[in-house]
């Protein structure tokens, strides 16, 4: 592992995440929101630190709320986003501002997402609103019929 990545894991108190990489929740809003989609009341907003150190990756998963990825350091990071039916996969590169590249990207609620560092590591923030709850989280690898729609070898390797 890159020495800076290990330093960040130790310094920020990051723990292993089920999807891959390391994380720590850094904010959970005390404001509560009522949803109209059948889910129970949630915090308005949550934010985590999330670190991926090569060759680790974030497995294909979805969250029932919008998620915004913010690249803090390291990078670049490749974020792959697929609509709920896996009809298409969009590849977004998070990196320093240059041309069309930006350090922030949004994954709409219910969309599938996966990520991998293209450098030694990537430290990101992930902000979810309404706030993240693990019951709103699902792995694509457990939805076999949908996972079979991934044909690109890179996409399949992130299951």
Q: Please check the confidence at residue 75 and state whether its pLDDT lies above 90.
A: no
Q: Confidence band (pLDDT; 50, 70, 90) for 40?
A: confident
Are 2 and 73 spatial neighbours (Cβ–Cβ below 8 Å)? no
Please state, in angstroms and rounded to a whole number, the distance separating the CA atoms of residues 127 and 28.
Answer: 10
Please state, in angstroms and rounded to a whole number, the distance separating the CA atoms of residues 1 and 19.
Answer: 18
Q: Please check the confidence at residue 59 and state whether its pLDDT lies above 90.
A: yes
State the distance between the two ends of the chain, measured CA to CA, in whole angstroms: 22
Classify the C-alpha dihedral 83-89-95-101 as positive or negative. Answer: negative
Q: Which residues pair with 101 in a beta bridge?
A: 98
Q: Please check the confidence at residue 6 and state whether its pLDDT lies above 90.
A: yes
Q: Confidence band (pLDDT; 50, 70, 90) for 155?
A: confident
97: how many CB neighbours lie within 10 A of its CB? 9
% residues pLDDT > 70 (the chain): 100
CB neighbour class for 137 (10 Å; exposed up to 12, middle 13-18, buried from 19): middle
Segment 46-72 mean pLDDT = 96
Tokens of 60: 């294909």
Q: What is the pLDDT of residue 145?
A: 87
Segment 137-144 mean pLDDT = 87
Nearest to 48 by CA among 3, 5, 14: 14
Q: Confidence band (pLDDT; 50, 70, 90) for 96?
A: very high
Decide if domain 3-157 falls under CATH 2.60.40.420.
Answer: no
- What digits encode the pLDDT tens for the residues 27-39? 999 999 898 888 8
């Amino acid at each position: 592992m890159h020495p800076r990545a290990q330093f960040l894991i130790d310094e920020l108190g990051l723990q292993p995440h089920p999807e891959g990489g390391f994380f720590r929740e850094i904010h959970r809003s005390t404001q509560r929101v009522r949803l109209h989609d059948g889910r129970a009341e949630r915090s308005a907003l949550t934010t985590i630190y999330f670190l991926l150190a090569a060759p680790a990756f974030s497995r294909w998963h979805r969250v029932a709320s919008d998620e915004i990825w913010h690249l803090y350091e390291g990078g670049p990071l490749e974020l792959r986003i697929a609509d709920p039916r896996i009809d298409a996969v969009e590849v977004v590169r998070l990196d320093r501002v240059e041309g069309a590249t930006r350090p922030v990207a949004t994954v709409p609620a219910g969309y599938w997402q996966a990520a991998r560092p293209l450098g030694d590591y990537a430290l990101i923030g992930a902000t979810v609103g309404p706030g993240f709850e693990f019951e709103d989280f699902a792995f694509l690898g457990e939805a076999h019929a949908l996972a079979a729609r991934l044909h690109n070898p890179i996409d399949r390797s992130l299951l």
